[in-house]
């Protein structure tokens, strides 16, 4: 056995060792692949049609030597959950009876916005989790998803997505949580904890830098350097592994500086396993092993692609055995591939099955005869998360709607469509789009239906006006007439999530423009021009360049942003429109000025912002963390520890007060800036955050305990360190406040960071913390999570 094959050799139980010792080559390889149940003509993975053509379809034939995974038993086509569970239990029994070793299959499913199965609850998309800034509620949601998976005999969930958003033109923006790695890490880790509390193995994806693709294109190369990888893309994965105990990781499709992630031993083994101590399984994103030959051109054929992936640290090929079966077996028999590299992966795969209870499961009990995947508990959490995630971007006082409103016109392509409320990986948009005659299987009230329920005394007229895409404006006349008859017009515009060109956002639906799709802007402007007070509700999977709607001369009276809020999204938005719920969502990413200003992040150094030395303007329309309320909050009494040793923890306190006349929830945001460092640092960095609910005139003191590891960065020697020096800290209602004072005077008018927010005011307070001692080299033992306590 070579040193390379010995790297990160798994420590497994005696039971696993003995089982492995009995295995023949074909049985080993069978444990390292999946079998995609019922895959037909539906394209729900990249190049699925091409990759599955000619693949064996008879389950008995494919599983002759056993099988590692059953791929998407419930999530490939609409099947009744109870009937499918009975089928699955019998197939597991058949594996016990008819294969030599009697090892059941590990079953995995997609579960990004809830279990992706017919009749299962559909929760808000991850971008909405980021907007809620509420890890505890995300953990509660994930535990419910996990319980649904467990009921159906599923063992592994392919979520969460921990990609840090870099460019909103990327179609998978709606699957990601935020542009801030700390928000991604804290919220994503909460999801891991919730899912795994139900006994489901969470799968972190996509490892790593998938979202950093050039021009926001799916599967495109990534040009990130080692510092950007270490400081921006990797921290969420590190948090989810070290703090969340994630049991599985999935590689990304991209290459980084020419090295495909499916063949990157430095990261998949050196960092993930040897440095972080990860001891779970690494599963291949669908077809990514074969893509080493077909799309990256670094392997001569699928057999050599398999060897390359195994050497790098991938353990299981999904969704099927395109490379790990016959192509790899032929190379082993020819003596070109050492079987020990297969042994390493097999031991990990068997350990995962042991952990899931599969090595002792006999499936003697019957599955539940009645299965409810959308219980009142599911819907209650879906509603709360949707309500917390909606962001109020502007309001001239029109909202909340007057209780006496008698005539409401609900206009727009998303006004009366259930599918508009759900993301790309929801079952309705991911699978049912290929089965137009099949009912949704769950209740999803549309915006129009929800308003009728929320305002029962009002006459609600619904007019589509235009489609999501296309240039047809013939519906404008009816929309204008409806608006003129109404006391208030609500225009519901935005996206349709879909896959690979079937939709405006989602996997494979990247864009070159950040204008609203089709003629939707023209529709909004035509309705506003009627003079009827108009509220624009955006239901989207990415932020669009809507400066015209927020700051233009003929702008709507109010603008709400909802990122695919799920099955309870319609009622949640309606309750916010009427004031039953006070909006508390905050932007989890910058609201862009234009497509040409991308990629952009609030985490930019001085040179990354606008200045007088360039005519190109990167100024965002609204900054990260921005969000209005029907009340106002004020901050006072900021204090912080004056000094802290590098590697220690310092405290920051601030008092937040509800200055208005209605109860509300503020998201208190703590920012910092390293004033002098050995490499360029951001002008503003989120150090911590906390949701705080306050009654009118009520105050609370929020105390943040901040590890100096939150200030860590990769130095010139590529070591992750905390340097001594002065750090400025402040509390603000968004990343756009107080930053101008943090940079040298005379560079330019930094209007991008001076966007006023009626949601709060930090009162001009800043504090200086001095980090003392020597340079502290950060290790995996260093805590990176800021804790917050609230005292009233």
How deeply is 41 buried, as exposed, middle or buried, from its count of CB atoms within 10 A (0-12, 13-18, 19+)?
exposed
Whose tokens are 């999570």? That residue is: 785
The label of the residue with tokens 């209605």 reads 662
Which of 108, 219, 296, 776 is catalytic? The answer is 219
- Look at residues 567, 493, 581 and name the one whose alpha carbon lies nearest to residue 534: 493
**Among candidates 615, 625, 634, 603, which has minimal Cα distance to 711?**
603
Q: How far is CA 80 from CA 119, 372, 374, in A?
A: 8, 11, 13
| Rounded-to-integer distance, Cα 116 and Cα 609, Å | 40
The radius of gyration computed from the CA coordinates of the chain, to the nearest angstrom, equals 26
Is 219 marked active-site? Answer: yes
Choose the catalytic residue: 163, 167, 180, 285: 285
CA nearest neighbour of 77 among 36, 119, 39? 39
CB 739 within 8 A of CB 753: yes
Q: How far, in Å, CA of 506 to CA of 269, rounded? A: 30
Length of the chain: 792
The pair of structure tokens assigned to 592 is 């862009």
Q: Annotate 489-516 with b (16+ C-beta within 10 A) or e (fewer).
A: bbbbbbbbbbbbebbbbbbbbbbeebeb
727 bridge partner residues: 674, 769
CA 614 from chain centre, in angstroms, equals 34
Three-class SS of residue 416? coil
Of 748, 752, 745, 735, the C-alpha closest to 614 is: 748
Instruction: List the end-to-end C-alpha distance of the chain, in Å, as a whole number.
Output: 63
Contact in structure between 25 and 66 (CB atoms under 8 Å) = no
- C-alpha 483/C-alpha 463 separation (Å) is 9
- Which of 769, 792, 760, 616 lies closest to 687, judged by CA? 769
Is 769 in contact with 710 (CB distance < 8 Å)? no
Mapping DSSP to helix (H, G, I), strand (E, B) and coil, where does residue 478 land? helix
Report DSSP letters for 251-294, one per residue.
Answer: E-SSEETTEEGGG-HIIIIIIIIIIT---SEEEPPTTHHHHHHH
Query: Which phi and psi (to 5°) does residue 324 adopt?
Result: -80, -10
Smallest CA-to-CA distance from 187 within 126, 238, 245 is with: 126
CB 125 within 8 A of CB 175: yes
206 classed as catalytic: no
Q: List Cβ neighbours of 665 (8 Å cut-off, separation of 6 or more).
A: 388, 582, 584, 629, 691, 692, 693, 694
Cα–Cα distance measured from residue 201 to residue 510, given in angstroms and rounded to the nearest whole number: 30
Which residues does residue 380 pair with via DSSP β-bridges, in sequence order?
none
Mode of pairing for the β-strands spanning 685-694 and 664-674: antiparallel
Angle CA 478–482–483, to nearest 5: 120
Compute CA distances 243 → 127, 710, 782, 786, whole Å.
Answer: 22, 15, 11, 13
Contact 59, 35 (CB under 8 A): yes
Cβ atoms of 253 and 206 within 8 Å: the answer is yes
C-alpha span between 492 and 414 (Å, rounded): 5
* Distance between CA atoms of residues 221 and 604, nearest Å: 22
CB 107 within 8 A of CB 318: no
Catalytic residue numbers read 219, 285
């Amino acid at each position: 056995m070579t040193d390379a094959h010995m790297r990160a050799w798994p420590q497994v139980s005696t039971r696993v060792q003995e089982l492995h010792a009995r295995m023949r080559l074909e049985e080993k390889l069978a444990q390292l692949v999946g079998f995609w149940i019922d895959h037909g003509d539906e394209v729900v993975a990249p190049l699925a049609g091409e990759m599955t053509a000619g693949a064996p379809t008879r389950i008995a034939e494919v599983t002759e030597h056993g099988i590692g995974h059953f791929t998407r038993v419930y999530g490939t086509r609409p099947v009744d959950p109870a009937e499918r569970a009975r089928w699955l239990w019998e197939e597991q029994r058949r594996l016990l009876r008819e294969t030599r070793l009697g090892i059941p299959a590990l079953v995995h499913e997609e579960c990004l916005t809830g279990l992706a199965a017919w009749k299962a609850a559909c929760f808000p998309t991850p971008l909405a989790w980021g907007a809620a800034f509420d890890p505890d509620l995300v953990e509660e949601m994930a535990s419910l998803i996990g319980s649904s998976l467990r009921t159906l005999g599923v063992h592994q969930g392919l979520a969460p997505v921990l990609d840090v958003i870099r460019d909103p033109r990327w179609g998978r923006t709606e699957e990601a949580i935020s542009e801030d790695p700390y928000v991604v890490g804290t919220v994503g880790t909460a999801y891991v904890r919730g899912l795994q509390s139900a006994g489901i193995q969470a799968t972190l994806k996509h490892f790593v830098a998938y979202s950093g693709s050039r021009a926001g294109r799916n599967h495109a190369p990534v040009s990130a350097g080692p510092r950007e990888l270490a400081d921006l893309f990797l921290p969420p994965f590190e948090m989810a592994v070290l703090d969340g105990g994630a049991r599985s990781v999935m590689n990304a499709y991209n290459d980084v500086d020419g090295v495909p992630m499916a063949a990157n031993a430095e990261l998949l083994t050196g960092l993930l396993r040897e440095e972080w101590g990860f001891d779970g399984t690494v599963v291949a994103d669908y077809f990514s092993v074969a893509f080493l030959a077909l799309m990256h051109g670094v392997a001569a054929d699928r057999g050599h692609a398999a060897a390359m992936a195994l050497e790098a640290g991938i353990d299981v090929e999904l969704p099927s055995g395109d490379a790990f079966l016959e192509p790899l077996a032929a190379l082993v028999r020819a003596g070109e591939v050492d079987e020990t590299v297969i042994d390493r992966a097999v031991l990990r795969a068997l350990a995962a099955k042991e952990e899931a209870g599969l090595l002792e499961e006999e499936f003697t009990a019957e599955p539940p005869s009645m299965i409810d995947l959308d219980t009142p508990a599911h819907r209650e959490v879906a509603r709360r998360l949707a309500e917390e995630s909606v962001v109020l971007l502007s309001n001239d006082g029109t909202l909340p709607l007057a209780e006496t409103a008698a005539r409401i016109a609900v206009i727009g392509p998303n006004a009366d469509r259930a599918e508009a409320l759900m993301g790309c990986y929801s079952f309705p948009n991911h699978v049912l789009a290929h089965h137009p005659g099949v009912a949704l299987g769950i209740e999803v009230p549309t915006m129009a239906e929800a308003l009728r329920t929320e305002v029962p005394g009002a006459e609600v007229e619904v007019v589509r006006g235009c489609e999501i895409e296309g240039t047809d404006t013939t519906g404008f006349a009816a929309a204008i007439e409806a608006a003129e008859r109404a006391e208030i017009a609500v225009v519901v515009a935005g996206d349709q999530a879909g896959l690979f060109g079937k939709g405006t956002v989602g996997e494979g639906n990247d864009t070159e423009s950040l204008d609203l799709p089709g003629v939707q802007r023209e529709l909004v402007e035509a309705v506003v021009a009627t003079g009827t007070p108009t509220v624009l509700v955006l239901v989207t999977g990415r932020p669009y360049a809507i400066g015209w709607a927020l700051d233009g001369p003929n702008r709507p009276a109010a603008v709400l942003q909802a990122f695919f809020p799920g099955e309870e999204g319609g009622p949640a938005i309606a309750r916010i429109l009427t004031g039953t719920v006070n909006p508390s969502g905050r932007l989890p990413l910058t609201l862009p000025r234009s497509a040409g200003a991308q990629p952009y992040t609030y985490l930019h150094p001085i040179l990354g912002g606008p200045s007088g030395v360039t005519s190109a303007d990167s100024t965002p329309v609204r900054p990260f963390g921005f969000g209005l309320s029907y009340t106002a909050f004020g901050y006072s009494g900021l204090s912080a520890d004056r000094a802290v040793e590098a590697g220690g923890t310092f405290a920051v306190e601030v008092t937040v007060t509800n200055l208005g006349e209605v109860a509300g929830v503020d998201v208190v945001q703590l920012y910092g800036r390293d004033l002098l460092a050995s490499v360029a640092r951001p002008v503003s960095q989120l150090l911590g955050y906390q949701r705080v609910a306050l009654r009118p005139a009520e105050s609370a003191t929020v105390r943040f305990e901040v590890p100096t590891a939150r200030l860590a960065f990769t130095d010139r020697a590529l070591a992750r360190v905390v340097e001594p020096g002065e750090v400025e800290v402040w509390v603000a209602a968004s990343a756009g406040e107080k930053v101008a004072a943090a940079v040298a005077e005379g560079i330019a008018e930094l209007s991008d960071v001076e966007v006023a927010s009626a949601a709060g005011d930090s009162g001009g307070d800043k504090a200086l913390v001095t980090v003392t001692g020597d340079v502290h080299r950060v290790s995996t033992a260093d805590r990176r999570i800021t804790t917050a306590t609230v005292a009233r």
